[in-house]
Chains A and B, each alone.
Chain A
């Protein structure tokens, strides 16, 4: 079971670069990279809110729950 972060998909759809998005939401490009690569252990509501605001999307568009067992079947 894991939560996938589909940030790169949304960024591609909105045609926005990592550096620009990081600047707009007020986090460092390094932290945005951690989020994009799925290495983050948690995400603050404030960060999620800023991402949704800048990418004009819902939290569900960025986060996806995947059950590995179900996926394997």
Chain B
């Protein structure tokens, strides 16, 4: 099945809206979910506080990243692809992933499975960073091409 460029961007935007809705739900019920989870797993209060803090700190990074991705898709729809603004947005997304990785790494001392989230976020930061480097290189090539008469 071949999806047109506009439909693909629309699909990505729908995914961002879904993620935003999920994040909103997490923000609303994060503490209660953590409390329920700690009760089921018989974890101590330190783990509960660490888990709650990790959820809300990661939520801040996730909101920033989602907003940047939303604006990035808006630029792509306007066919402004290889621009310095998009590189800046990708850099911010990458740093958000690093932030999530750092928070989850700190939380893993209280609840070990957070280490997996930290590794996944770190890996995601690496991928986004490489895409950002590709964009930077593409901007340079585009400027050279534009100035070839």
Which residues from chain A sit less than 8 Å from chain B, CB to CB?
27, 31-32, 34-35, 39-44, 47
Contacts and interface: CB of A to CB of B under 8 A. Distances in A.
- The majority secondary structure among interface residues of chain B is mixed
Nearest to A35: B149
Interface residues of B, number: 5
Contacts of B148: 40-44
B144 interface: yes
Interface string B138-149: 000001100111
Sorted nearest first, the 7 A-B pairs with minimum C-beta distance are A41-B147, A42-B148, A35-B149, A31-B149, A40-B149, A41-B144, A40-B147
Interface of B: 143-144, 147-149
A12 to B, nearest CB: 20
A34 B100 CA distance: 46
A34 B144 CA distance: 12
Nearest to B144: A41
Nearest to B148: A42
11 contacts: A27-B149, A32-B149, A35-B149, A39-B147, A40-B148, A41-B148, A42-B147, A43-B148, A43-B149, A44-B148, A47-B149
A11 to B, nearest CB: 15
B135 to A, nearest CB: 20
